[in-house]
Structure 1
């Protein structure tokens, strides 16, 4: 499901900030945002731009957020919403009164005429407005865009495999109450690039949906099927792996770990999904040694069953069977034993990663594999400017 970047939220509380007369802290679900005093009352609706929203710099409404207004006649740079501290108070996102966004007010007015006030509020809280406001998600430059020789990816990410994505726990204020007695797998979230390695049998209906292979490809082709390697948004040709020293490490890492051969031996329509980490990935926040790149498995999609395999099975059976590394597993416990609130989960996300640096956070997966979410460390977000 695409991430909702711009939504209408209800302000649940307003908290004064010590030593500040003009600003206060607004609570919306599990988030806190700094707002101007007088903009809101508890119970009001506001338009919320989540962190990593990229606002169009050409929109004058956001000029007050811009670091500069462009140089030498160039258009203003787009504006990324990040986690910051103001007067030692955390602010995550941008919250503005609906009147700042007439596009949203127009929808609210129409819905109120159709459904009444209560019906409008119920409906508007489920909608998103990034498209109408020209907002997109900030995407850092990753290895998939640094391949040598301007080699193009094979195709878009396969439509028959879900992209890796987790909802943030702050957007799920009731999750602990609703899932308190359910058992979850808790894992460390690693900071790298999303990577998927799939195997499709020749007799699968998905085989005909695969993009044509370039000439002289070897690792992709197997007697009974085909292997593919993908970044978050693209399928990549195996020729990219031969140029790893110049920037593309997806195929090279998959081959070094023996993943294509292991999947071919299993001869099932499966997609391994995990994190590609290493010295050239995401500024090496994890702290890998020079030239070291590794794939860390966190889930397996069963194409025939159209579901994720149970996470414990992936961890204890499939990772050893395939000979691949798995992200660190903290344990399997009822969610209510892991934390008592969203705030507890966010605090729990703090900690150290594989090589002692601040970790990105944690991921919680229900043991049936059908439901999961993440908690990102605020310390990590502040440290890395996210």
Structure 2
């Protein structure tokens, strides 16, 4: 089982705990029905999986099953030999099966399920915990674990860039929060049913099909923070530190979800930052140490599902992380800052309670499917709901129509 507890560094500063997707976990079957074509749809939590009735008859309502979400990459190993004939995908040089959305007789199937008994090590762990803490508590614990690593399942990563990414100098600083939102299916109808959820105000924005990009500044008045960032020094023995990275006000850096980059004149993140004007505008934001977060989108990103003109890329902001407060600025404040400084911000569809857009998981997914075309004509990917009072209460709604059209 994966441990998601962040370590504490030697000088007492605790790194930010990132959002982590539970790609593989134990779930409970909550519904089951036959559909056309000798198939049966089985629902685990809020995910629906469709298969031949002869296979789905193994599962009963109330059963605990192992569920692998879409984007799971199942390797071609003996444990999964029954899937070998379907394993035609290659990821990082390895043959396997990518789990993805598909439509069967008008029903969207998203994920794969396996009998819990196919994984005796999980069963044994559960039985041992039952003896120690009781069945109810042991089962709650089991449902919280991710089993991706222990079962050899990786997250399928769509090739994000047409051209190689250059200038990597280190990992993303632990002082910068990695953005991320759970899908509405993983949260379930509780977001619609509780009094607090019904009255919580969300900023609702279009979800863009890009890659995460951070533009940060660390003030000269906060030199202690720089120990948590990659050392700033010339690379390859010839490129000096450019003035874009070492400014009179302090250090400026650019990162994606995993790495920080040197401005080597070829990096697509730095190129886009320069054309957007964000490198100057970040100094006009009245906070000492911040990371502006957004999406890098454009013709060379994510297969260009957004249909950008060839060669055009943008940095589109969705949030600002305050490193000193260790929190996000309020969504409305970020929107107003971007408007004042002429910084591109993700399209805002509105503000309001979640029930304004749907009163169940099914209704809100249907709403996402009805979104119109994007800026350049591509189908919109979906919606992001960000709670103004607590970003951890946010979630995303991916359009099934978009998944079908893009095969993602």
Contact 2:29–2:62, Cα closer than 8 Å, also in 1? yes
Contact 1:11–1:43, Cα closer than 8 Å, also in 2? yes
Deviation at 1:61, TM superposition (A): 1.6
Distance 1:46 1:198, change over 3 A: same
Deviation at 1:141, TM superposition (A): 2.3
Matched, 1:224 2:224: no
Distance 1:70 1:183, change over 3 A: closer
SS of equivalent residue, structure 1 residue 125: helix
Which residue in the other structure is 1:324 paired with? 343
Which residue in the other structure is 1:382 paired with? 404
SS of equivalent residue, structure 1 residue 12: strand
Picking from 286, 291, 294, the partner of 2:314 is: 294
Q: TM-score, normalised by structure 1?
A: 0.91
Deviation at 1:86, TM superposition (A): 2.6
Matched, 1:362 2:383: yes
Gaps of 5+ in 2: 1-18, 235-239
Cα distance in 1, alignment partners of residues 96 and 394 from structure 2:
32
Contact 1:156–1:235, Cα closer than 8 Å, also in 2? yes
Cα distance in 2, alignment partners of residues 356 and 306 from structure 1:
37
Deviation at 1:336, TM superposition (A): 1.8
Cα distance in 2, alignment partners of residues 160 and 44 from structure 1:
41
Matched, 1:275 2:295: yes
Which residue in the other structure is 1:305 paired with? 325
1:1-386 matches, within 5 Å, as: 1-20=19-38, 23-35=39-51, 36-64=55-83, 66-68=85-87, 77-143=95-161, 146-147=164-165, 151-173=166-188, 174-178=190-194, 179-204=197-222, 205-213=224-232, 214=234, 215-239=240-264, 242-243=265-266, 248-266=267-285, 268-316=288-336, 318-350=337-369, 351=371, 352-370=373-391, 371-386=393-408
SS of equivalent residue, structure 2 residue 241: coil
Deviation at 1:68, TM superposition (A): 4.7
Gaps of 5+ in 1: none
Question: Aligned pairs, how many?
Answer: 371
Deviation at 1:227, TM superposition (A): 0.8
Which residue in the other structure is 2:8 paired with? none
- After TM superposition, the runs of 4+ consecutive aligned structure 1 residues lying more than 4 A away are 68-71
Cα distance in 1, alignment partners of residues 330 and 89 from structure 2:
50
Cα distance in 2, alignment partners of residues 331 and 217 from structure 1:
40
